[in-house]
Amino acid sequence: MSAPVPGLPSAPLGRTGLTVSRIGFGCAPLGDFFDRLDERQCLDTVAAAHAAGVTLFDVAPHYGNGLAEHRLGTALRGMDRGRVVLSSKVGRYMVPERGAGPARGFAGGLPHRAVFDYSHDGTLRAVEQSLLRLGTDRLDIALIHDVDDWTHGAEGAEARFAEAMAGALPALERLKAEGVVGAIGLGLDDHVFAERFLRAGDFDVLLLAGRYSLLEQPAAATLLPLAAAQGVGVILGGVFNSGILATGAVAGARYNYDPAPEEIMAQVARIEAVCEAHGTPLAVAALHFALGHPAVASVVLGAVHPQEVSRNIAALEAVPPPALWSDLRDAGLIAETAVLPCAGP
């Protein structure tokens, strides 16, 4: 079990026995997500997060075709491993390949080619590679990654779901029994597939990206109540929906990794106007809304500079007025099935 650091709120992660900081560190930027990053800056940013009390670090082989895991592993060697909850994912392994291009959305990365594989042996291979890149002997959390229509197409996603249930899940259960993996779960941005997995198998953790945010809450009706009823620890990613809830409806704002369409820009502008009326920055409201659901233990946020870590901590400490949430709901901007936050993180 990770030891919480005084000064940063923490919460139990479902029935896993793990305690995680309410803000986690999302490592996709370490893989040169959208932009190439300076190596020293990456390491300094991770160190700043750890020093601030962040204990949960979430990464994946997909992020820069292994680059994010390499960078995080380098940073980990300067940390007390007992104060780190390390999460990575399965579903891809890497093959060295000269001239291999970066993954979609990434500006750089390692010269490796990703191979999708949710089989038993493919999962063992993916975990072994992650352990080597991270320089550790165990993963506190291992998540089945990216089973969805967007990644695989409709027919492909159905096949990958079946493959993961028959292969990846038993492999992770084996690794859990051996002590190589602590908790097993799902790392998805599709709430429908997430619910199907929870109803089909026994999982400890759900990391859900983008589907419960201030902008949209499709996970509120049935998925999050199901996770809570099963004792599944919930982590949210993508709570800014790829950036637009951090930047606001400005030119170039991103939604789901692409330029935001007009209807999303208009919706965010309406939300931001209500937030401004209550003196609350949009990003602060977005963070506290996501943390406000009682099933949610932590929210993972990316950062590319130590100053961004400080900004995220400051956002956690800034508590929006309760009237903000009721006004957003009265304006039809928060679903009736969503849970309005209470005071405090």
Catalytic residue among 32, 58, 117, 140: 58
Active site residue 35: no
In the 8-state DSSP scheme, what is residue 5?
A: P
**3-state SS assignment for residue 140:** strand
Which among 202, 198, 201, 207 is positioned nearest to 227, based on CA atoms? Answer: 198
Catalytic residue among 32, 35, 38, 63: 63
In the 8-state DSSP scheme, what is residue 165?
A: I
CB 327 within 8 A of CB 316: no
Active site residue 140: no
Residue 111 burial by Cβ neighbours in a 10 Å radius (0-12, 13-18, 19+) = middle
**Backbone φ, ψ for residue 136 (5° rounding):** -135, 170
Give the Cα separation of 20 and 57 in Å (integer): 10
CA dihedral sign of residues 299, 305, 309, 311: negative
Active site residue 89: yes
Catalytic residue among 89, 93, 189, 204: 89
CB 277 within 8 A of CB 327: yes
Contacts of 209 (CB under 8 A, 6+ apart): 187, 188, 189, 236, 237, 238
Query: Which residues have a catalytic role annotated?
Result: 58, 63, 89
